Amino acid sequence: MNPSRPERPLRPLLSVVVCCYNEAKVLPLFHKRLMAVLDTLTIRHEVLYVNDGSRDETLALLAGYCRVPGVRCLNLSRNFGKEAAMVAGIDYAGGNGLLFIDADLQDPPELIPLMVHHWLTGSDIVNMQRRTRLSDTSSKRISAHLYYKLMNFLADKFDVPADVSDFRLIGPAPLAALRCMPERTRFMKGLISWLGFNTIELPYDREPRSAGLSKWGPLALIDLGIEGVLALSRKPLRWFSLLSLVIFIATLVLIIYQVSVNNFSSHHVIMGIAAFIALGIAMIGEYLGATLSEVRQRPIYLLDRLLGETPERPEHTCPPHPREQENR
Ligand code: UDP
Ligand code: MG
């Protein structure tokens, strides 16, 4: 599907989407700072919180914020993970521009006007890029560096910019395109890069978490990394096929040589080939798992309820008609 490019909207409406999972400790301060910044904006705006199955007081706090016009909350039926919560935000946001921001104050809300300025002056996607990763451990810094190198090696004809967080503004054209992508295996950073459009990276200093705990342990990060590869590239499968051919030919040559000199010992060859096959089966299993998720067509998230005014899901046509964006 190739959605046509909506013209720049006559009346921009910004949806600020905030995914929250057990953020009760930081939410009051976050909400106060966010609302203070939004009050200074000259364009229309709304706030859409997505409560991703929090087990603390997050939902109670959000219910209180939703009493104010222009603030809504989606309460998901359980914890689906941040990628799924972001999809819920994309589906239910009523704006023609969408801005993702984390609830833990690592992304300063005070940068929103700058992002909006770049949107209104011609950028389709405004990515915030960490200037430094000083708040990360050295192992996280090194693994992130290697991961971005790998992703760019795997991605065909597009770049995944390093150190770009989920703190970004997505304008009407890429937003409409995202809404037309029904896939289940999600990796937002990669998908956004895949979209293309006129993109700008703005450097910023990512603050340490204001309160509460990060939800990303090393295992969750590995999981996200594998999802990213599965969502963006089939190259590992191709490489494995080519390497299998090379190993097959090399093994044949070795066996013929060993038979000819009467010194045949198959142990090492068999062990090497077995390890290689095990790796291949594991990799094919990962791709098969990702395919299974797509075939099942299960929803990416389930909604428990909506809080706040105008609680219905907006109609997004796919592909969108350029004029529709203007009338919103
Ligand atoms: N988050 C979410 N669902 C999850 C995990 C995280 O909605 O399953 C939200 C979380 O509340 C926060 C944002 O995603 O607003 C980033 O999470 P976190 O700060 O734990 O990630 P980190 O900054 O450590 O990468
Ligand atoms: Mg964080």
Structural domains of the chain, count: 2
- Find the CATH number of the domain harbouring 31: 3.90.550.10
Q: What is the domain extent for residue 285?
A: 235-296
What is the per-residue pLDDT for 323? 44
Of the residues 16, 17, 19, 219, which should be mutated to test ligand 1's pocket, given the most ligand atoms within 8 Å of the CB? 19
Cα dihedral: 88, 52, 213, 34 (round 10): 60
Distances (CA, A) of 95 to 34, 92, 116, 272: 17, 9, 13, 56
| 285, 180 contact by CB (below 8 A) | no
CA dist., res. 142 & res. 228, Å (int): 18
Tell me the two tokens of residue 214: 């990060």
Do 43 and 111 fall into the same domain? yes
Do 155 and 203 fall into the same domain? yes
Do 244 and 133 fall into the same domain? no
Q: Which atom of ligand 1 is nearest to the CA of 80?
A: 8
Do 199 and 244 fall into the same domain? no
Nearest to 100 by CA among 186, 174, 193, 170: 170
Span from the CA of 246 to the centroid of ligand 1 (angstroms): 44
Do 146 and 192 fall into the same domain? yes
Q: Which atom of ligand 1 is nearest to the CA of 209?
A: 19
pLDDT in tens, the chain (328 residues): 445 555 555 589 999 999 999 999 999 999 999 999 999 999 999 999 999 999 999 999 999 999 999 999 999 999 999 999 999 999 999 999 999 999 999 999 999 999 999 999 999 999 999 887 766 777 777 878 888 888 888 887 888 888 888 999 999 999 999 988 888 777 888 889 889 999 999 999 888 777 777 777 778 778 878 888 888 888 888 888 888 888 888 887 887 887 777 666 677 778 778 888 888 888 888 888 888 878 888 889 999 999 987 656 677 766 655 544 444 3
CA dist., res. 266 & res. 164, Å (int): 49
Do 85 and 138 fall into the same domain? yes
Do 17 and 99 fall into the same domain? yes
pTM metric for this prediction = 0.82
Give the pocket of ligand 1 (CB within 6 Å): 19-21, 23, 52, 79, 81-82, 85, 102-104, 106, 214-216
Please indicate, yes or no, if residue 167 is contained in any of the structural domains.
Answer: yes
Please indicate, yes or no, if residue 2 is contained in any of the structural domains.
Answer: no
Span from the CA of 247 to the centroid of ligand 1 (angstroms): 43
| 4, 322 contact by CB (below 8 A) | yes
Do 291 and 190 fall into the same domain? no
Nearest to 196 by CA among 245, 127, 136, 111: 127
